[in-house]
């Protein structure tokens, strides 16, 4: 149901190992938007506890837009999204980083993801990414 898109796979590239081409692409022409023009932050919450059944709720997503939830056992220095529409977007988790799930937000810009977490998932980190705006949310520790 939630297909993994190859162009969204997240590679384990440390922030201090930025490819010069990616660094140049995110130069002066791609500076951050002023606060009043920036998209709202993506918010991810978890109802339940690990291990066991939980529901992840995302809000602040682009209505009917795609999202990715990345997973890692580690926090910063993070990784850069290597391809697709969000190439160069920095995450605050990893390396290593993998795609936990992908999906499409509701018309209201929300998503609800019910899962059962195994004991091995406990202690790892998740971070959402809105694919339409390349906006990340704060990481969440399971």
Q: Omega before 127 cis (within 30°)?
A: no
pTM score: 0.73
Residue 54 has pLDDT above 90, yes or no: yes
Looking at the chain, the whole-number percentage of residues with pLDDT higher than 70 is: 72
Residue 56 has pLDDT above 80, yes or no: yes
Task: Please report which helix (H) or strand (E) contains residue 83, including its range.
Answer: none
Task: Confirm if 70 and 89 have CB atoms less than 8 A apart.
Answer: no
Residue 103, SS3 per DSSP: strand
Buried b / exposed e across 29-55, counting CB within 10 Å, b at 16+?
eeeeeeeeeeeeebebebeeebeeebe
pLDDT averaged over the chain? 78
Nearest to 68 by CA among 114, 103, 96: 103
Task: Confirm if 69 and 100 have CB atoms less than 8 A apart.
Answer: yes
């Amino acid at each position: 149901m939630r297909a993994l898109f190859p162009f969204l796979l997240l590679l384990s590239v440390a922030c201090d190992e930025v490819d010069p081409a990616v660094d140049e692409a995110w130069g002066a022409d791609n500076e951050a938007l002023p606060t009043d023009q920036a998209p709202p932050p993506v918010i991810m919450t978890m109802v339940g506890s690990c291990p066991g059944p939980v529901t992840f709720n995302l809000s602040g997503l682009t209505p009917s837009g795609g999202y990715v939830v990345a997973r890692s056992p580690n926090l910063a220095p993070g990784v850069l999204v290597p391809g697709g529409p969000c190439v160069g977007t920095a995450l605050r988790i990893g390396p290593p980083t993998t795609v936990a799930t992908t999906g499409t937000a509701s018309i209201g810009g929300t998503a609800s993801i019910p899962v059962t977490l195994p004991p091995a998932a406990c202690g790892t980190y998740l971070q959402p990414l809105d694919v339409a705006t390349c906006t990340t949310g704060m990481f969440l520790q399971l």
